[in-house]
Amino acid sequence: MAADELPEDQRLKDLSPKSYEHPADRAATAALQQIPMMDTVVRKLIEFGERSIQQQLLAGAVRLGPDQLPEIWASHRAALARLDIDFVPDLYMWQMPFTNAMAIGSKKPMVVLNSGAVSLFDEHEMRTVLGHEAGHILSDHLLYRTALLILLQIGVRPLMRLPFFAGPVSATGRTMLVAGLVLAVMILPIITAVSREVFRQTPKLHEEAALALGATRWEMIRMAVLPFGRSGVVSGAMLGLGRALGETMAVAIVLSVSGAVTVNLVSSGNPSTIAANIALQFPESSGLAVNALIASGLVLFVITLLVNAAARAIVNRRREFSGAN
Amino acid sequence: MSTGTEETRTAAEAEAIAALPSVARRQARLPEWAPWAILAGSAVVVGGGALMFGRGIGLAVAATAVVFALLTYLASRIVEGARKATDRLATILVTTALLLAMAPLVSVIATVLANGIARFDAQFFTYSMRGVVGEGGGAYHAIVGTLLITAIAAVMSIPVGLLTAVHLVEYGKGRLARSITFFVDVMTGIPSIVAGLFAFALFALFFGPGVRMGFMGSVALSVLMIPVVVRSTEEMLKIVPNELREAAYALGVPKWRTILKVVLPTSIAGIASGITLAVARVIGETAPLLIAVGITTGVNLNPFDSRMATLPVFSYYSYVAPGVPREPFLDRAWTAALVLIIIVMVLNLLARVIARLFAPKGSR
């Protein structure tokens, strides 16, 4: 029975998916849709992955139609017609022993049947399955399901391909990554202290006015506190950066230095930092080597000078609005 | 007429009834216990699951936090609406960041305590390292050296910093004050090792290369300390109300006397605590002392003659270049770190006590 053979009175005209969805499902989908940017991000993701899934199916699965398993194709079209879906998604069957089926894709939905299901089900059972999948399509479940599939496919593999994480991984852990983590822990209190001082100077009246206008606490923070303290936070971060640039002993103790120049954060061959190099070399140096170390100190001094001057410039640019002057 | 009003009323009522669910939904709140229940649930299910599959405690905690945040957000979104949900999500993120920041700090203190307590005994405070090969010995020489060098640095930088701040606030106008402010700001972030190199280069001019003395370390530390003292004193002098100064001027008091008798006493609490914090900041500096003062095994009380031992450098060398056997050296390194932390903590507490004791009467 094809779509056009279905009598008009058996079509569920203009069927809204809300009429059959479970309330929890409806609420969850609505909540997901309301998350800002979620829709855009998911659609972008799907654009990347959808074509590859389609190619995979074209290559490795049987596409059903009037000439391939015409009974199932007819059931498919009938199920679609019953739900009043006016386009016909591609129907594929791939070799898979589990009894299952799925609907994927967002711009161009596809229904995929496992061969296990096709060999097990009779016509009526198959039509139930096809109706179920048509329901997914009508409810727009596909968007999120396809995103999930693509995310699973991507996984964490690309991270390992970056040059920063190329092996071989150091056995001692005395790597640039660890030194960076230690420095992060060390400058965290500085950034926290500066930011706290800045936030503290937000006019109490602004905060109370925002709350009185019905803002939630986060909205108050976002609209009253953060704009007020933005330059202070930036300068605090820059001060922390300056401190990390000049930090000596932590790097000297943690990093195992080989002198190699590399961007590999996890291997055992690491370049040193200026400060740590001075601290490690100075006690055993004499003559011209001392002058070289002092020259490298000058370079470090100029770098930190620039960073700190930039921090001050940022604070001064908004001096009248900021408490950090 | 009456029919008309009745009709409008029913229409209004119908409207109100139609609007009721959405109003009720907007005002609905998650019960107090709901976030805790979600936290407990996700901890049991996700964290327990991660632990059961042997994924380690860190992953278990992280996964629990993520699932907790997502579930709370969704539940709040459905029951309370979008704005409340964002608020809850932000609260969770902020709290997580706080815990994340606290973890390494607490871990540092716990590790130093656990490793340093072994040698935290009378011998550590009364013996130097002269002639000590393995077990025993102490850091008497290093503690004395640290206190001596820091005291000299403080004596040099407190008057300079204090008077600079007075100049900036009370006298400073025009280009000179602006450039001093700029350089003080920039010097606050100067790498400590550069200060050490500066002191070394300065003294090498007079005494030739290879010179090491305690006073050189004091100079390096005061280079680091002066900007901190200037900054904190300046902040404190700025918040002295102008009315006090003007009242003094109106009574015919000269400017220097106003500063000495009115401005400084008013802000002495903040200045003193700022200076204490500056001392705490430099007392743990390793890099400049490593370059300027070096290390020795015996007690040296003369800051103008040869090397001295200091706690940070003592700890550093015991850790990176231990003798044989290693364990006594590592133990002493940890204990030295513990003593340093205790000194800094005491200085910080002292700053608070000073701020409270010297606070001008009637101002709080």
For residues B333 and B312, what is the distance between their CA atoms, to the nearest angstrom? 9
- Mean pLDDT calculated for residue range B193-219: 88
Residues in chain A whose beta carbon is closer than 8 A to a beta carbon of chain B?
27-28, 31, 34, 185, 188-189, 192, 216-219, 221, 239, 242-243, 245-249, 252-253, 275, 278-279, 282-283, 286-287, 290, 293-294, 297, 300-301, 304-305, 307-309, 311-312
At residue B18 the predicted structure's pLDDT band, cuts being 50, 70 and 90, is: low
Q: Judge whether residue A153 has pLDDT over 70.
A: no
Residue A217 to residue B87, Cβ atoms within 8 A: yes
Task: Tell me the percentage of chain A whose pLDDT exceeds 90.
Answer: 7
Q: What is the pLDDT of residue A155?
A: 60
State which amino acid sits at residue A156. V
In the predicted model, is pLDDT for residue B228 greater than 80? yes
ipTM: 0.79
Cis check for the bond before A203: say yes or no (omega within 30 of 0).
no
- CA–centroid distance for B150 within its chain: 19
Cis upstream peptide for A70 (omega within 30°): no
> Residues 146..165 of B with a Cβ closer than 8 Å to A: which?
none
Interchain proximity A286–B185, CB inside 8 Å: no
pTM: 0.68
pLDDT tops 50 at residue B6: no
Q: Nearest CB to B209: which of A218, A283, A286? A: A286
Does the domain made of A3-159 have the CATH classification 3.30.2010.10? yes
pLDDT of residue B355: 80
pLDDT of A213 over the 60 cut: yes
pLDDT confidence tier of residue B136, bands split at 50, 70 and 90: confident
Question: Which positions ≥6 away from B104 have C-beta within 8 Å?
Answer: A185, A188
CB pairs under 8 A between A and B: 111
Cβ B303 vs Cβ B310: under 8 Å: no
Across the interface, whether the CB atoms of B77 and A34 are under 8 A apart is answered yes
pLDDT given for residue B12 in this prediction = 60
Average pLDDT of B159-184?
Answer: 89
> Which range has the worst mean pLDDT, A16-30, A101-115, A272-286, A294-308?
A16-30
Per-residue model confidence (pLDDT) at position A75: 87
pLDDT tens digits for range B29-69: 778 888 888 888 888 887 777 777 766 777 788 888 888 88
Reported as a single tens digit per residue, the pLDDT across B260-297 is: 988 988 888 888 888 888 898 889 888 899 888 888 88
Please answer yes or no on whether A305 and B197 come within 8 Å at the CB atom.
Answer: no
Mean pLDDT of B293-317: 87
Q: How many residues does chain A have?
A: 325
The predicted pLDDT at position B25 comes to 47
Q: How confident is the model at residue A150 (pLDDT cuts 50, 70, 90)?
A: low
* Residue A68 pLDDT class (50, 70, 90 cuts): confident
C-alpha B90/C-alpha B96 separation (Å) is 10
- Band (pLDDT 50/70/90 cuts) for residue A158 is low
* pLDDT tens sequence across B89-111: 999 999 999 999 899 889 999 99
Query: Bigger pLDDT: A318 or B291?
Result: B291
| Confidence category of residue A149, pLDDT binned at 50, 70, 90 | low
B74 closest CB neighbour out of A31, A192, A219: A31
d(CA A13, CA A93): 29
Domain locations in chain A as residue ranges: 3-159, 176-321
Least Cα distance to A133 among A167, A154, A105 occurs for: A105
Let me know if B88 is exposed, middle or buried by CB neighbors in 10 A (0-12, 13-18, 19+): buried
